[in-house]
Chain A
Amino acid sequence: MRALLVLCLVFLACAAAAYAQVPASPAELERRETAIAAELRCLVCQNQSIAESNADLARDLRQQIREQLKAGKSDAEIRDFMTARYGDFVLYRPPLKAGTVLLWFGPFALLGLGALIAARIVRTRRSSVALSDADRARAAELLGRGREDGA
């Protein structure tokens, strides 16, 4: 029974692998093109992706993506093609490396620093509640007087 199940799974896996080899449909290619273009920054109009931009360069780059997809290139290969020419700057999701560590972890480091400072302030406030003998005497006097007045 178990052997049969394993056999079934193996066939299924083979079928899936074969499916992956089938050339992608035009609709699938278009979906991938849009997905890649949406993650690339247009360098002429820096606040738009090349999917949104109507700039000449963006159109050329979309054309380039389309051609490379048709030629069977993977998404990663196309992204590499773009970064080799325009640098990591074209990626809206920059890769994690030495130069971008601050970009990725800077906000968390600042948050940690803030939490540390907040914790310190809270701790010093709590300990400053400690009263000296003179304070206590004065407090007792004031409180005592209050009670007398109220009585």
Chain B
Amino acid sequence: MNRKLLLILPLVAFVALTGFFLRGLWLNPREVPSPLIGKAAPGFERPVLHALERSFTPQELRGQVWLLNVWASWCAPCREEHPLFNSLAKAKVVPIVGLNYKDNPDAARKWLVALGDPFLLTVIDADGRVGLDYGVYGVPETFVIDKSGVIRLKHIGPLTQEKLDKTVLPLVRQLQQGG
């Protein structure tokens, strides 16, 4: 009996390994878990794209659940996800702040005119220093920030309708209902 068990051990190990590899096939190696989840959103103070004399800090949105979308006019996948934000803004579900990452302000303004502007306001991060503090490495990225200013979710890459409906919006609603 013991011997038979020993004989099928390689098969069991093989199946287990195959299971891991199969799972690995469907994982996205670009999605690195962020250490910032559950931590306070890093503070910053940066000019607003459409009102350069005014600057924005995340502190202003304390008490609200909001999204921070990191984008740039040179980023092709940002175009892909943009309609989602447009419809989200139209439905007034949650305020969205744009972080214009390492971009040319003129190009950024033109981009918003052409594709629609879903943002409460857009903040200019010309040198990418704010992006660095948020651990941004692949634009677009989207953060969900709760009422007390804590990062609850980070999505890397273009947001999809599926991810929005299944993960982002339920979380937003839950956070909005909570104290």
Contact = CB atoms under 8 A, between A and B. Distances in A.
Q: Do A and B interact? A: yes
Interface of A: 43-44, 46, 56-57, 60-61, 64, 83-89, 117, 120, 124
Q: What 4 A-B pairs come out closest when comparing CB atoms?
A: A43-B137, A85-B135, A87-B35, A89-B32
Contacts of B30: 46
Nearest to A124: B3
Given A43-B138, A87-B32, A56 B102 contact: yes
B138 A85 contact: no
Interface string B24-42: 0000011011111000000
Given A87-B35, A124-B3, 11 more contacts: A43-B137, A43-B138, A44-B138, A46-B29, A46-B30, A64-B132, A85-B132, A86-B35, A88-B35, A117-B9, A120-B6
Contacts of B133: 85
Contacts of B102: 56
Contact of A86 (B3, B29, B128, B135): B135
Contacts of B143: none
The A interface, classified by DSSP as helix, strand, loop or mixed, is helix
Given A64-B132, A117-B6, A85 B32 contact: no
Nearest to B134: A85
Contact of B32 (A61, A64, A84, A86): A86
Q: Is the interface of B mostly helix, strand, loop or mixed?
A: loop
Contacts of B3: 124
A64 B135 CA distance: 13
Interface in B122-143: 128, 132-135, 137-138
Given A57-B137, A60-B132, A64-B132, A83 B32 contact: no
B134 to A, nearest CB: 7
A79 B3 CA distance: 50
Interface centre among A83, A85, A120 (most CB of B within 10 A): A85
Contacts of A86: 32, 34-35, 135, 137
A114 B135 CA distance: 41
A60 B33 contact: no
Contact of B137 (A44, A88, A117, A120): A44
Contacts of A124: 3
Interface in B39-81: none
A79 B9 CA distance: 42
11 contacts: A46-B30, A60-B132, A85-B35, A86-B32, A86-B34, A86-B135, A87-B32, A87-B34, A87-B135, A89-B33, A117-B6
A137 B29 CA distance: 66
Contacts of A85: 35-36, 132-135
